[in-house]
């Protein structure tokens, strides 16, 4: 027996459910889910009606809009399809129509706001096909792949459109913020038309006085935006964080292209190249020190990595060691590795003050940013067989950046609830 509406009051509805019980708890739970969905459809239909007008004319500026009468429309909510008769408005000149119910209820396409929130969050985490399967299996909701993709694209478009004007609060942190660390890097994803293209990822991490990370803000952009736009977005986030924590030390940690360092040099007080990349070049150079003696080579790597991390001026001393090794007779392969290490340390030894940074409780690794490349990009955009159009990849990346930055997903939807999709877009 389906759910039955028993009573409707001004601010509440009463619904009666009848749930069949069986000797299979799984079957009973499925019946409970269906009954709750039936009740949800009834309650949503009643809730939607309170956002409709009584059909009176509306005036926007000097333009009058009159109702064409109530026409039925099917809306998709978390519990099922809801058909509601609502007023459609039009001017005396004809043309486009306007539905007050859809604006005031925050309908997106034909999805209710909570369903749009659910769909876009799932789509940010899994493929469209898996989202459809998840909704059917775990929520008793049958929707088409096209509907999921359209709603997720619309939500992501709103997120992108409001990047400049919507600011988000940092969650309440257990400790005071002493250091703000900025990192950025690029990783590749496959596009339908252009093949492998670079996707930019940035992180802004907040650290306490003991060097413990308290919070991280994620920023990502597909090639569609270009690096200039990505840098603008990251800059806005940095400036916003600076306003929140004006006394915090602003530092940059990265390992990448020269333009990344050019950016960090403009917006941070000091910069450091990732220690673990530096250690990788130590290991590469070790073959020049001990081409055949593996045990001695490992001891040499441990010795220099320890010095590099804990001894002031060790990077310059190591560069001198590399110059000494260059005078040896080496195989072509070993010499090529040595020259890579010499170039790397020659370019970055001034950014390897790890002992000083550790003493000041500053980060020395770019692991947060590298993890963000995997989390934001690789885990969703680089699955086997996937190729993306630039717009679609940008939508998913925007949704994931919101979702993975603690507190922002709920704040984004609170702003949608306040301002609406029409004004946001």
* 3-class SS string, 83-96: EEEEEEEEECCEEE
User: Is the same domain home to 371 and 299?
Assistant: no
User: Is the same domain home to 385 and 246?
Assistant: yes
User: Is the same domain home to 268 and 194?
Assistant: yes
> How confident is the model at residue 312, as a pLDDT?
96
User: Is the same domain home to 155 and 222?
Assistant: no
Is residue 419 one of the residues assigned to a domain? yes
Is residue 19 one of the residues assigned to a domain? yes
Cβ neighbour number for residue 132 with a 10 Å cutoff:
23
For the chain, 425 residues long, the average pLDDT of each consecutive 10-residue run is 86 93 94 95 96 94 92 97 96 92 95 97 95 96 96 93 86 93 90 82 95 95 74 92 94 86 93 95 95 94 97 96 93 94 95 96 94 92 85 90 95 94 54
Query: Which helix (H) or strand (E) segment is 344 a member of?
Result: helix 332-348
> How confident is the model at residue 140, as a pLDDT?
94
Is residue 68 one of the residues assigned to a domain? no
User: Is the same domain home to 289 and 242?
Assistant: no
Q: How many distinct structural domains can be found in the chain?
A: 4
Domain span at residue 369 reads 179-274+365-406
> How confident is the model at residue 1, as a pLDDT?
62
Is residue 101 one of the residues assigned to a domain? no
User: Is the same domain home to 293 and 253?
Assistant: no
Token pair for residue 125?
């985490």
Is residue 183 one of the residues assigned to a domain? yes
Contact indicator for 80, 117 with CB cutoff of 8 Å: no
Is residue 402 one of the residues assigned to a domain? yes
User: Is the same domain home to 260 and 345?
Assistant: no
Q: What is the CATH number of the domain that holds 243?
A: 3.30.420
Longest Cα–Cα distance of the chain, Å, equals 92
Distance from C-alpha of 207 to C-alpha of 250, rounded to nearest angstrom: 10
Is residue 235 one of the residues assigned to a domain? yes
User: Is the same domain home to 304 and 233?
Assistant: no
Contact indicator for 160, 342 with CB cutoff of 8 Å: no
User: Is the same domain home to 325 and 425?
Assistant: no
User: Is the same domain home to 419 and 399?
Assistant: no
Contact indicator for 66, 90 with CB cutoff of 8 Å: yes
Is residue 174 one of the residues assigned to a domain? no
User: Is the same domain home to 312 and 348?
Assistant: yes
User: Is the same domain home to 263 and 218?
Assistant: yes
């Amino acid at each position: 027996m389906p759910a039955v509406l028993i009573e409707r009051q001004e601010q509440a509805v009463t619904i009666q459910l009848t749930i069949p019980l069986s000797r299979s708890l799984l079957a009973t739970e499925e019946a409970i889910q269906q009954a709750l969905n039936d009740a949800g459809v009834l309650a949503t239909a009643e809730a939607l009606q309170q956002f409709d007008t009584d059909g009176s004319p509306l005036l926007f500026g000097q333009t009058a809009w009159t109702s064409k009468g109530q026409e039925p429309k099917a809306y998709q909510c978390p519990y099922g399809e809801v058909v509601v008769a609502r007023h459609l408005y039009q001017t005396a000149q004809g043309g486009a129509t306007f539905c007050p119910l859809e604006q005031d209820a925050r309908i997106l396409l034909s999805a209710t706001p909570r369903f749009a929130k659910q769909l876009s969050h799932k789509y940010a985490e899994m493929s469209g096909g898996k989202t459809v399967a998840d909704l059917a299996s775990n929520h008793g909701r049958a929707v088409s792949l096209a509907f999921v993709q359209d709603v997720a694209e619309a939500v992501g478009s709103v997120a992108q459109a409001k990047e400049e004007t919507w600011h988000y609060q940092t969650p309440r942190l257990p400790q005071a913020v002493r250091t703000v660390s900025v990192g950025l890097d690029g990783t590749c994803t496959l596009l339908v038309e252009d093949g492998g293209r670079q996707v930019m990822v940035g992180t802004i991490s907040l650290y306490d006085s003991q060097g413990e990370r308290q919070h991280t803000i994620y920023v990502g952009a597909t090639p569609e935006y270009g690096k200039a736009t990505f840098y603008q977005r990251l800059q806005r986030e940095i400036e916003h964080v600076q306003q929140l924590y004006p006394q915090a030390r602003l530092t940059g940690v990265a390992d990448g292209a020269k333009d990344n360092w050019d950016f960090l040099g403009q917006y941070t007080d000091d910069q450091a190249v990732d220690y673990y990349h530096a250690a990788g070049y130590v290991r590469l150079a070790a073959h020049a020190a001990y081409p055949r003696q593996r045990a001695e080579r490992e001891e040499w790597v441990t010795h220099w990595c320890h010095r590099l991390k804990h001894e002031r001026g060790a990077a310059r001393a190591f560069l001198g060691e590399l110059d000494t090794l260059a005078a040896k007779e080496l195989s072509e392969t070993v010499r090529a590795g040595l020259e890579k290490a010499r170039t790397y340390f020659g370019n970055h030894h001034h950014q390897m003050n790890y002992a000083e940074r550790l003493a000041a409780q500053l980060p020395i690794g770019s692991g947060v940013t590298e993890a963000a490349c995997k989390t934001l990009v690789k885990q969703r955009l680089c699955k086997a067989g996937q190729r993306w159009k630039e717009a679609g990849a940008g939508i998913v990346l925007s949704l994931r950046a919101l979702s993975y930055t603690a507190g922002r997903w709920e704040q984004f939807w609170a702003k949608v609830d306040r301002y609406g999709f029409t004004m946001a877009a």
